[in-house]
Amino acid sequence: MRERFLHHAALACIQRAALRRVNRLMVILVALGLAGCAGDRSILDPAGQAARDVVLIWWVMLTFATVVFIAVISLWLYTFKRKYHERTPQQERKIARRWVIGGGILLPVFSVSALLMFGVPAGKRMLPLPLGHPVEVIEVIGHQWWWEVRYPGAEGGEVVTSNQLVLPAGEPVDFHVTSADVIHAFWIPRLGGKIDMLPGRVNVIRLEADEPGVYGAQCAEFCGAQHTHMDLHVEALEREAFEAWLEDRQAERLAELALANDEFAQARDTFSSSCAVCHSVAGISSSAIGPDLSDIGARHTLGAGVLPMEEGAIQYWLENHQTLKPSNKMPSHDYMETATLESLGAWLESLTP
């Protein structure tokens, strides 16, 4: 059994080498052709080993499938053109058996066996097998319709943020995902496959980003009216930058930042009396119904991908969020003065650790 296992591993190695070559070719073809317009969510533009394996498998499968497809269809169409031959029943039986056994049994058996040999090793790589050294763990919790991201392993205490996911590049990361309400799915297309986020269960998936960079992600399991607007900004940083990023988000530092500027005292009061029921800002409130806002000024988008973060964006969001993202769970703020919203927005925008 052990031998077979080794044999299996060796086979996987050869496959990988062969596929890398195929992929290089395909990447060139794609670069020339359609994928030129691929965005940051394209499966065909992998940025991690797991996703790369899948793309290799895809191109091999596509090539093979195309050959089979053309062969079968051509044979079918050819039967309408070819001349009819009179045959004895014995001859007919022989020809029929050849088609049925060759095409009906051998062809699929061969194809699917080959496919499984490629596929199983690729799947194994995404398992959270023990590695001999600790792996960074990031918890991601889905909400209707935003993401809660937690770093339980951060030195100096857990770090919490929302709608953005920063991970160290060049090393495997285990994502522990779950949901606070309905089923969502966690998926960073360029890094690898998706996993569902189920209430009451924690699923684990291991992904790795080759290089620092920004990757798109979006909830993949239909989760209600605003499933569409549930983007996650994913950013891979070098290890040191990642550590620094975590360091900046320690609760004391964030609290300092939130309480720093006296000109926002009014805004903080407003926040405490209304927003704090749902939102938390370190040092001021700690409710977890809505997204944590402690570092909101440093995020790239608002409303899980609805608006780009820029000056005045938060105020605009607060005024219009029910039209920008209809039926989101935050109540409308019609009753608040424009000036109040403006100061609130300005303060939140200043929360940039």
* Binding to other proteins, residues 59-98 (CB under 8 A): 61, 65, 68-69, 72-73, 75-77, 79-80, 84, 87, 92, 95-97
Q: What whole-number distance in Å separates Cα of residue 233 and Cα of residue 300?
A: 7
Tell me which DSSP letter residue 180 carries.
S
Tell me which DSSP letter residue 207 carries.
E
Q: Work out how close the CB of 225 gets to other proteins at its nearest, in angstroms, rounded to a whole number.
A: 4
Q: How many CA atoms lie within 13 A of 170 on its CB side?
A: 8
- Spatial CA neighbour of 143 closest among 177, 184, 175: 184
Residues 132-191 within binding reach of other proteins (CB under 8 A): 144, 181-183, 185, 187, 189
Q: Work out how close the CB of 176 gets to other proteins at its nearest, in angstroms, rounded to a whole number.
A: 11
Q: Which is nearer to other proteins, 87 or 239 (CB)?
A: 87
Q: Work out how close the CB of 164 gets to other proteins at its nearest, in angstroms, rounded to a whole number.
A: 17
Q: What whole-number distance in Å separates Cα of residue 259 and Cα of residue 256?
A: 5
**Max CA distance (Å), the chain:** 100
Q: How many CA atoms lie within 13 A of 242 on its CB side?
A: 24
Q: Work out how close the CB of 195 gets to other proteins at its nearest, in angstroms, rounded to a whole number.
A: 6
- Spatial CA neighbour of 353 closest among 264, 244, 275: 244
| Stretch touching other proteins by CB under 8 A, among 159-167, 218-226, 243-251, 282-290 | 218-226
Strand partners, 138: 175
Q: Work out how close the CB of 43 gets to other proteins at its nearest, in angstroms, rounded to a whole number.
A: 5
Q: Work out how close the CB of 127 gets to other proteins at its nearest, in angstroms, rounded to a whole number.
A: 5
Residues in the chain: 353
Alpha helices in the chain (DSSP H): 2-32, 49-81, 89-99, 107-124, 239-248, 251-259, 265-273, 313-324, 338-349
Residues 241-280 within binding reach of other proteins (CB under 8 A): none
- Spatial CA neighbour of 160 closest among 346, 4, 353, 312: 353
- Among 16, 27, 115, 298, which residue sits at the site for other proteins (rule: CB under 8 A)? 115
Q: Work out how close the CB of 14 gets to other proteins at its nearest, in angstroms, rounded to a whole number.
A: 16
Q: Which is nearer to other proteins, 143 or 268 (CB)?
A: 143
- The contact mask relative to other proteins for 41-60 (x = CB under 8 A, - = no) is xxxx-----xx-xx--xx--
Q: Which is nearer to other proteins, 208 or 295 (CB)?
A: 208
Q: Which is nearer to other proteins, 225 or 277 (CB)?
A: 225
Amino acid residing at 280: S
Q: Which is nearer to other proteins, 204 or 289 (CB)?
A: 204
- Among 133, 200, 240, 334, which residue sits at the site for other proteins (rule: CB under 8 A)? 200
Q: Which two tokens stand for residue 143?
A: 């909400």
Q: What whole-number distance in Å separates Cα of residue 31 and Cα of residue 220?
A: 26
- Among 111, 274, 322, 350, which residue sits at the site for other proteins (rule: CB under 8 A)? 111
Antiparallel, parallel or unpaired: β 307-308 and 301-302: antiparallel
Q: Does 122 bind other proteins (CB under 8 A)?
A: yes
Q: Does 218 bind other proteins (CB under 8 A)?
A: yes
Q: What whole-number distance in Å separates Cα of residue 193 and Cα of residue 122?
A: 11
- Among 137, 153, 171, 227, which residue sits at the site for other proteins (rule: CB under 8 A)? 227
**Environment class of 105 (CB within 10 Å of its CB; exposed 0-12, middle 13-18, buried 19+):** exposed
Q: Work out how close the CB of 131 gets to other proteins at its nearest, in angstroms, rounded to a whole number.
A: 10
- Among 142, 168, 192, 290, which residue sits at the site for other proteins (rule: CB under 8 A)? 192
- Among 10, 34, 214, 265, which residue sits at the site for other proteins (rule: CB under 8 A)? 34
Q: Are 346 and 310 in contact (CB under 8 A)?
A: no
Q: Does 320 bind other proteins (CB under 8 A)?
A: no
Residues 278-317 within binding reach of other proteins (CB under 8 A): 305
